[in-house]
Structure formats: C-alpha cells, structure tokens
Amino acid sequence: MTNASTDAGIAARGVDVRGVNKSFGDTDVLHEIDLSVEPGTSLALLGPSGCGKTTLLRLIAGLERPDEGEIMVGTQVMAGSSAWVPPEKRNVGMVFQDWALFPHLTVGKNVGYGLDRAERKGPRVHEALDMVGLANLVDRMPDTLSGGQQQRVALARAIAPRPSVLLLDEPFSNLDSALRVGVRTEVHRLLIDLGITSIFVTHDQEEAFVLGDEVAVMTSGRIEQIGSPQDIYQTPSSPWIASFVGDVNLLKGTGSGSRAETVVGGLPLVTNTTGAVDVLVRPEDLALERNGPGLVTLTEYYGHDMMVTVDLDGTQVLVRAPARAEWSRGDQVSVTYIGDAANAFS
C-alpha cells in the first residue's frame, strides 16, 4: 500500500483489514471482515444499529483488539497475531459522536490537547484552526461557539497531530437537521482539501453516499457489499441492500431470459433470468401518464420532486415524478418503465 503526502503536511496512508473476527463474551460482533481503503480516500461504514460499525472503527483505532485477523495502516501491521501497536502510536485520529470538547479549555488549548507539550506552543494549533477556518477564535471558550463551530474545533483537534488516517463515529448525528447538511458539506470539503484517508460510521444512507468514495454496507457483523455509492445503489447485491439504500419497488415478475414481465409491463434485465423473480425497480425509473388502470393512493411532495404511490392491480408501486406535475389522490394513471435495465433476484 502506498503513502500519499498532502499540502497540509499529512502523509495519508491506506488501511487494510484482513480476516478480522471479534466477539464480546459469547456475542460474535464481527465476522471475517475484509476491507481496503486507498490513501487519501474515504470509506463509509453504513448499517443498522448494532451491526458492529463502531466496533470495527474502534479496532482500527486500537481501542479494541481483534480476536483473529490483521489490521494494517500503510505498510505497518497495527494489530495481528504477533503485532500490537497501541492507539497513541498509530497516528490515527478519531472524532467521536459528541465531538466532546473540554468546556474549561479555550479553543486553542482544546486543539493542542493531543499534541506533545513542545508542539502546543508551535504553529500546529494555528495551522489546524486555519484549516477549519477558525484561527480567529483561538482564545474563545467552547460554550461561546455555535454547534457547527464546535464541530470544526473538534475536527481541528483531531487533525492537529497530522494523523495519517481520520476515523469519525457518527460525526453529524448530534446536530439538528438544519445544521447537519451545512456542516457535512464543510467537513466534506475539508477532508478533500486535507487529502486525508478517512473512515466514518453512519446509519444514514444519504450521508454515506455524499461523503464516501466507497461504502461498506454492514449487517450482523458482516460486510454485505462494498463499492462506490453508484455500485451500491444501482447494482445492490441483495433486495435488503436495495431497500436499505433508497426507495425501491420489488415487483413480482417472470423472467424469460433478458426480459421480465411485471405489473408495470415487460422490462429489460441486467442479467438473464428465467422463472419467478423479484425485480428491483427504483421509483425514478418509472413514469406516469394520465388515464390507465392505476389509481393514485398517496402523494408526497418534496419540492425537488414528488413520490406518488399507485395501486396497480393490488400492488403498491412507488413512482418519483417531477414536482411540477400535478398528481393527486384518486387520479387514474398508467405506469411505464423508463430505466435502462433492472436487477432481478430469484
């Protein structure tokens, strides 16, 4: 695995996790975890509550030891059958869910906390605050800052020691929804500017897709699929993943090679399939026209578009329609497939 140096003085290193298992007592929490994060890229660990995301992050940080397998940062084995590097020697920064600033320390002292005593007086505190755009707040106390500013101070504290890898555990979950998207965009830009390798935990699909160059979808201690957000969304490896990462119709159908017959008519398949299948159709791959056998039973207006639920022969079908179209409950409609090809599961 190569290293990559960035303008911010950070030598981004990749992360490799190989065959990692972890139990707590009788509870198996992680099974055969394999993943690889290239230097300077970001990986989202996405999954429902309790699937083991935080445990995996803590293993990479060195806050837990694997029962089996190996964890590498760059070319160095940090944890394995014959190696153990303690967390403070891994050059890995971690940002926790609550971003936990020390209330009795100034912004500058908070940021300097993870540095050697000699370095605290040096340029690193200012450099780190500069990177997050808060150099002018160095003498302020945390309770005089907005929520978004506090998040940025916590981020500056994590990057001040110039870690090779930054780990973030649900970094935006404590912010209210109005603030969350703005802070997320700021952090996104900063991670790109820093060129740092980052791994972050989230149960929010949108957050994983927006921030992750790659997304690892986890359930019950396993990685079910790992790939780019586009791969995961467009070619999910199971119906469960398809519905976990977005709205989807799973339509009963009959495959006959490259096509399947469904309640929305015949449609092309990504891979040839015969017999009974569940066909995965995203709502944006369907279009509505006036008059037809379908009955609009629900509309949800989002501003940028609207979701229309259509009863087609007893099947409820979701259709994402342009917001300018005026669909209402009770409308009679027809539904047509406008996508390129659909995935089917036997």
Among 5, 24, 67, 289, binds ligand ATP (CB under 6 A): 24
Cβ contacts of 234 within 8 Å, gap of 6 or more:
none
What is the DSSP secondary structure assignment for residue 48, as one 8-state letter?
A: -
- Please name every residue paired with 67 in a beta bridge, in sequence order, or none if there are none: none
Closest approach, Cβ 217 to ligand ATP, in A, equals 12
Least distance from ligand ATP to the Cβ atom of residue 34, Å: 17
Contact 335, 310 (CB under 8 A): yes
Residue nearer to ligand ATP on the CB measure, 26 or 139 = 26
- Could you identify the residue written with the tokens 């609009």? 296
Q: Among residues 138, 144, 118, 116, which one has the least CA distance to residue 126?
A: 138
Query: What is the Cα–Cα distance from 243 to 2, expressed in whole angstroms?
Result: 36
Helix, strand or coil, per DSSP, at residue 87: helix
Q: How far is the CB of 273 from ligand ATP (least distance, A)?
A: 33
Q: Are 130 and 122 in contact (CB under 8 A)?
A: no
The residue among 60 and 190 lying less far from ligand ATP, judged by its C-beta, is 60
When the beta carbons of 220 and 336 are compared against ligand ATP, the nearer one is 220
Q: How far is CA 300 from CA 182, 281, 290, in A?
A: 25, 19, 18
Q: How many residues does the structure list for the chain?
A: 346
- Which secondary-structure segment (H or E) carries 42? strand 42-46
**DSSP per residue, 133-187:** T-GGGTT--GGGS-HHHHHHHHHHHHHTT--SEEEEESTTTTS-HHHHHHHHHHH
Question: CA 161, CA 75: separation in Å to the nearest integer?
Answer: 20
CB closer to ligand ATP out of 46 and 156: 46
Q: Report in angstroms how near the CB of residue 22 gets to ligand ATP at its nearest.
A: 8
CB of 60 to ligand ATP, least distance (A): 12
Residues 195-214 that bind ligand ATP (CB under 6 A): 201, 203
Q: Which is nearer to ligand ATP, 44 or 51 (CB)?
A: 51
Smallest distance, ligand ATP to C-beta of residue 47, A = 6
Q: Which is nearer to ligand ATP, 200 or 337 (CB)?
A: 200
CB of 35 to ligand ATP, least distance (A): 15
For ligand ATP, how many residues bind (rule: CB under 6 A)? 13
SS3 state of residue 23: strand
How far apart (Å, rounded) are the C-alpha atoms in residues 142 and 7? Answer: 28
Window 25-64: contact mask with ligand ATP (x via CB under 6 A) = --x-x-----------------x-xxxxxxx---------
Least Cβ distance, residue 121 to ligand ATP (angstroms): 37
Please answer whether residues 157 and 115 qualify as being in contact, where contact means their C-beta atoms are separated by less than 8 angstroms: no
The residue (of 23 and 146) whose beta carbon lies closer to ligand ATP is: 23
Q: Which is nearer to ligand ATP, 57 or 333 (CB)?
A: 57
Which residues are near ligand ATP by CB under 6 A?
24, 27, 29, 47, 49-55, 201, 203
